[in-house]
Amino acid sequence: MISKLDPSAIQGFLEDTSNLKSGWTPGVFFPENPEEAAGLLRNAASEGRRYTLAGNGTGTTGGRIPFGDYVIAMHRLNRIGEVEPLDNGIARIRAESGVLLQDLQSKAAAAGWFYPPDPTEKTCFIGSTVANNSSGSRSFRYGATRSHVRALKIALPQGDILDIARGEHLADETGRFSLDLPIAGDLSFRRPDYGMPATSKHNAGYWSAPGMDLVDLFVGSEGTLGIILEAELELRPTPEKVFACLVYFMSEEALFAFVEKARSGDAEVSPRAIELFDRRSLEFLRQGYPSIPHGTGGAIYVEQETTDADEERCLEAWTALMAECGAPAELSWAALDADGLAGLREFRHELPVLVNEWLSRQAESKVSTDMAVPDALSRQLYELYRDACEAEGFTYLIFGHIGNAHLHLNILPRNREEYDRAKSLYRKLVSGVLSMGGTLSAEHGIGKLKSEYLVQMYGESGIREMVRIKKALDPYLVLNIGNLIPTSFYETET
Ligand SMILES: Cc1cc2nc3c(=O)[nH]c(=O)nc-3n(C[C@H](O)[C@H](O)[C@H](O)COP(=O)(O)OP(=O)(O)OC[C@H]3O[C@@H](n4cnc5c(N)ncnc54)[C@H](O)[C@@H]3O)c2cc1C
């Protein structure tokens, strides 16, 4: 197995897109097969080593950044299987954890199939997208990665390799899972004893539901319960046609009326994505897209799947909805073919990229949210963010997955004093969102940056529920310590 110990070779493993500084590691290992990865864990406790898992470094929460632990990098576990059509109109494909999402999507597309999860950044690894239950604009229709995972191969923290398929291990009526493993022996633990928020996206803490599948405990566990070595993923038939529109509105009032109607199902439209760009996001994007109209109240990006036979009716339905909500048709941008669609999706991608580039030239980091509220409260979430930032006089943008009432607020502090104020506002916003029945993270996860706030969401008893499960699977605490669960909770017995 290749390992790197030279500081210049391991520097790249001390960062992701979170701007979290001061990580360090004695070395990075690159397992080339599942046994090598599991072997590292098997010997971890006896060798006194802890490991942090690294994907491709596009995470936003510092999850892959080690603070003194060794790194296991997934780059060489990168084999991808063939697309295998099944009887029920779907197909499956197996991919090791270091396969790039964009490569998996291309392979599926070449065979006429479609892998829906679409985090805006496509250079992430498949294993990370499973570990983080990543999602994207199409999750409005298709759900997050969780909905597309059929089976997993996992290296457990004591060194066992576990192969699980959906339906094989369900929590019993008391919520208990039981496993008989060669190294760890008999493992038995109950699912977390807490409720889940009533949001349509949620990615903060271990999953828990009556009768839940063990697969769902590992999806979204951010590498704290095991290494995702390989996943079997579900593919859908490629839609015959897709079109997209960027619809500008002169007022926020009109924009939110459009969002409500578009997702209600009453308007004869069935979008697969409904995304917001607030007025400030459009102003930010104008540096790369000078043709963005001036003076609008914001824009909504929608994608719609259709067929040759239905395309005209669909377009008419969207045009009618835009007219009903007062969107000036002459300002809207439509993409009716693959090139146009790629261009508009690139426009969507450019916003977080430009923000990150801009920030890399600034002294201060951004303060950003990834929270969601129950769908019916999307406007209230927007107003909570907007009003709080206006009252503070901040430079800020609000954008993202309005269809799922999941918005990214990015506060761009101009100096340290603003940064400190933004951080204290963040805590207030978390309280506001939680009081609306929301979640701390809808897609980016918790990592190291947000673990302290997880206590606000679950209370100490909820965190202890996660520690209970973590310790059942990782009794020697060797894997991804510092991620998700605040480390102080490991010091108290549960
Ligand atoms: C511009 C931009 C846009 C983004 N847009 C979205 C978006 O729309 N939706 C979204 O969900 N995310 C988005 N992200 C976040 C990011 O792309 C995802 O979180 C992605 O899953 C991270 O993948 P990675 O391979 O880069 O992982 P890394 O950043 O390297 O690691 C992320 C976490 O996964 C853990 N991990 C890595 N590999 C494994 C494994 N095999 N088993 C267990 N744990 C593992 C790491 O320890 C770490 O905690 C965006 C990021 C950027 C920079």
Six-digit token pair at 444? 């980016």
3-state helix, strand, coil in the chain (%, to 5): 35, 25, 40
**What angle, rounded to 10 degrees, do the helices at 378-392 and 416-435 form?**
150
Query: Is the CB of residue 319 less than 8 Å from the CB of residue 253?
Result: no
Please tell me the pTM assigned to this model. Answer: 0.94
CA pair distance 446, 435, nearest whole angstrom: 19
pLDDT at 362: 80
Query: Ligand 1 centroid to 132 CA: how many Å?
Result: 6
**Domains of the chain with CATH codes:** 2-73 (3.30.43.10), 84-237 (3.30.465.10), 241-435 (3.40.462.10)
Q: CB of 228 closer than 6 A to ligand 1? A: yes
Q: CB of 64 closer than 6 A to ligand 1? A: yes
CA pair distance 94, 173, nearest whole angstrom: 31
Helices (H) and strands (E) in the chain, counts: 15, 19
Nearest atom in ligand 1 to 98's CA: 41
Cα maximum dimension of the chain: 68
pLDDT at 393: 96
Q: Which of 192, 160, 69 is nearest to 473 (CA)?
A: 160
Residue to mutate (ligand 1; options 64, 96, 355, 402; most atoms within 8 A of CB) = 64
Query: Ligand 1 centroid to 374 CA: how many Å?
Result: 24
pLDDT at 321: 95
Nearest atom in ligand 1 to 133's CA: 11
Query: Is the CB of residue 84 less than 8 Å from the CB of residue 93?
Result: yes
Q: CB of 153 closer than 6 A to ligand 1? A: no
Q: CB of 62 closer than 6 A to ligand 1? A: no
Residue to mutate (ligand 1; options 29, 65, 121, 122; most atoms within 8 A of CB) = 121
Nearest atom in ligand 1 to 132's CA: 21
Nearest atom in ligand 1 to 59's CA: 29
pLDDT at 493: 55
All residue ranges of the chain with pLDDT < 50 are none
CA pair distance 45, 198, nearest whole angstrom: 39
- Could you tell me the CA-to-CA distances from 477 to 45, 131, 132, 307 in Å, in that order? 8, 18, 20, 52
- Could you tell me the CA-to-CA distances from 193 to 163, 200, 464 in Å, in that order? 25, 20, 10
DSSP H helical segments within 286-337, as ranges? Answer: 311-324
CA pair distance 443, 81, nearest whole angstrom: 27
Query: Is the CB of residue 395 less than 8 Å from the CB of residue 414?
Result: yes
Query: Ligand 1 centroid to 128 CA: how many Å?
Result: 5
Among protein residues, the one whose CA lies closest to atom 46 of ligand 1: 64
Nearest atom in ligand 1 to 400's CA: 8
pLDDT at 492: 67
Q: What is the phi/psi pair of residue 152, to 5°? A: -135, 145
Q: How many CA atoms within 13 Å lie on the side-chain side of 208? A: 21
CA pair distance 417, 167, nearest whole angstrom: 52
| β-pair partners for 92 | 84, 234
